[in-house]
Amino acid sequence: MKQFIILTILAWSLSSTSQAAPIDLMALETGKKTYNAFCIYCHGAKGEGDGQAAALNGVPLVDISNKAYMSLLSDQDIYDRIAYGKEKFPYIQMPGWRSNLKPQEIKAVVVYVRSLAVDKGALKGPTPKEREERFNNSSAEKGRIYYLKYCSTCHGRTGDGKGPVANTLKLKPACFNDPKITEQLTTENVKKYVTDISEERGRYMPIFEPFIEEYIDEIVQHIKTLAK
Ligand code: HEC
Ligand code: HEC
């Protein structure tokens, strides 16, 4: 209760001394707790995408502390991306959080994510909208993202067979920089390698759930671009 009163007074004094919209300190507090419990291990303490689990997350994480990037998203845009994740925004391969977090907690985490913003100059990479459009309109981009997400932790982001999980395996992942390997790959045989337990090849890979079959065509296209 005491903390609540102090926060309220703080919020009041902040809002009365500045013209800008008052920062909701209660939300900031809840948002920080939520972020530290659910987000930090991928996005990192400052939002730069260097959390402990980031390396194991095949897709490199966008810097959500980059003001130029994040200012292109409204609070509602950020809310929806956090709530629904890849279900509605497949260009971000992040699970949606709406089954773990209440709407109030998601709102609070939006406030906290906003507070992480740092001015890093003009945006160098694509905007969120450009990324979304590129993903939706290009099977090459889908293949790249799905490969990073589902295959790169073992086969490596560049296909060198040296992803972060590779060291832990007795049998080394295939190197996709080798054209002798990639030229024999077809959508059909790769589907078998990744889903059919009776297949000899790929036995040291996880057996993927059938959802993966939908992506294999695009993934194989991408793998073929990795050959040198
Ligand atoms: C398992 C790792 C993981 C966790 C945990 C995680 N995220 Fe993400 N997040 C991602 C990935 C992967 C992306 C997409 C990265 C990319 O493609 O640039 C992403 C993207 C985002 C984006 C950027 C959306 C855009 O349009 O570019 C926001 C904002 C975000 N996450 C917020 C959160 C919040 C808030 C939490 C906690 C509730 C959270 N994330 C937890 C992996 C994670
Ligand atoms: C947990 C690590 C791991 C993941 C994740 C993984 N692989 Fe593999 N993969 C391996 C290993 C190890 C081998 C080599 C040994 C074998 O054949 O089991 C292999 C072999 C293969 C081969 C056989 C190449 C050949 O001609 O012998 C293909 C094709 C392949 N992987 C495709 C994929 C695709 C596509 C994905 C993502 C959908 C994927 N792998 C994800 C570990 C992995």
Which of 44, 33, 50 lies closest to 112 in space, CA to CA? Answer: 33
Residues 25 and 127 both lie in one domain: yes
Residues 66 and 27 both lie in one domain: yes
Of 44-48, 52-56, 137-141, which range is least confident?
A: 52-56
**Ligand 2, atom 30: closest residue by C-alpha:** 202
CATH number at residue 144: 1.10.760
Q: Is residue 157 part of a domain?
A: yes
Residues 53 and 118 both lie in one domain: yes
Residues 6+ apart with CB under 8 A from 82: 96, 97, 101, 106, 109, 110
Domain that residue 148 falls in:
139-225
- Name the 3-class secondary structure at 118: strand
Q: pTM of the full predicted structure?
A: 0.89
Q: Is residue 205 part of a domain?
A: yes
Q: How far is the CA of 23 from the centre of ligand 1 (A)?
A: 23
E strand or H helix that includes residue 131: helix 128-137
Distance CA 132, CA 135 (A): 5
Counting ligand 1 atoms within 8 A of each CB, the residue from 32, 33, 38, 43 with the most, and so the one to mutate, is 43
CATH number at residue 66: 1.10.760.10
pLDDT of 167 reads 87
Residue 150, ligand 2, Cβ within 6 A: yes
Distance CA 184, CA 188 (A): 11
**Is the torsion defined by CA of 12, 109, 20, 67 positive or negative?**
positive
Residue reference for tokens 């080798």: 178
**At which of 96, 114, 131 does a domain end?**
131
Residues 123 and 213 both lie in one domain: no
Residues 37 and 68 both lie in one domain: yes
Q: Is residue 58 part of a domain?
A: yes
**At which of 77, 108, 131 does a domain end?**
131
**At which of 131, 158, 193 does a domain end?**
131
Contact 64, 43 (CB under 8 A): yes
Residues 55 and 103 both lie in one domain: yes
141-192 pLDDT per residue, tens: 999 999 999 999 999 999 999 999 998 888 899 999 999 999 999 999 999 9
pLDDT grade for 200, boundaries at 50, 70 and 90? confident
Q: How many separate domains does the chain show?
A: 2
**Angle between helix 213-225 and helix 139-150 axes, rounded to 10 deg:** 100
Q: CA–CA distance from 223 to each of 71, 150, 156, 179, 215 (Å)?
A: 34, 12, 11, 10, 12
Residue 206, ligand 2, Cβ within 6 A: yes
